Amino acid sequence: RDRVLHEHIEKLSKIITPKHKDLLIHKMYLRECPWLPAQDALRALNAYRTPRDKVKCVVHCAKCIMDLLSLSQNSGSTTADDFTPVLVYVIIKVSFFQKMQILCNL
């Protein structure tokens, strides 16, 4: 099962783009792409040992995404419909080896 998951995520990471039709990331948010601070927050996940610290790391990633999305918006608030596709993209784009470790750590 691990190998199948590995292969699937590897294929996804090669074809996925912020403009992918299934992600539905609004074009106004693409200015901040590829959301590197959020990717960096997830890459740091393996440096932590306790569940509390790992959750803080994930929360930091979410906060980075929300902050970056709000920078792209002129008015209004960022919704879950705006946030979720960007989070999915960020998780897929984190280096493959670390993606596997992130999935094992969550």
Q: Residue 74 has what pLDDT?
A: 72
Check whether 14 has a pLDDT greater than 90. Answer: no
Q: Residue 26 has what pLDDT?
A: 87
Domain positions in the chain are 2-105
Long-range contacts of 3-12 (CB under 8 A, 24+ apart): 5/100, 5/103, 6/96, 6/100, 9/92, 9/96, 9/99, 9/100, 10/96, 12/92
Q: What is the pLDDT of residues 26-81, one digit of tens each?
A: 888 887 788 889 999 998 888 999 999 999 999 999 999 999 898 887 767 889 99
CATH topology of domain 2-105: Glutathione S-transferase Yfyf (Class Pi); Chain A, domain 2 (1.20.1050)
Q: The whole model's pTM is what? A: 0.80
Q: Residue 56 has what pLDDT?
A: 95
| Gap between the Cα atoms of 64 and 32, Å rounded | 11
How many CA within 13 A on the CB side of residue 101? 14
Q: Residue 52 has what pLDDT?
A: 96
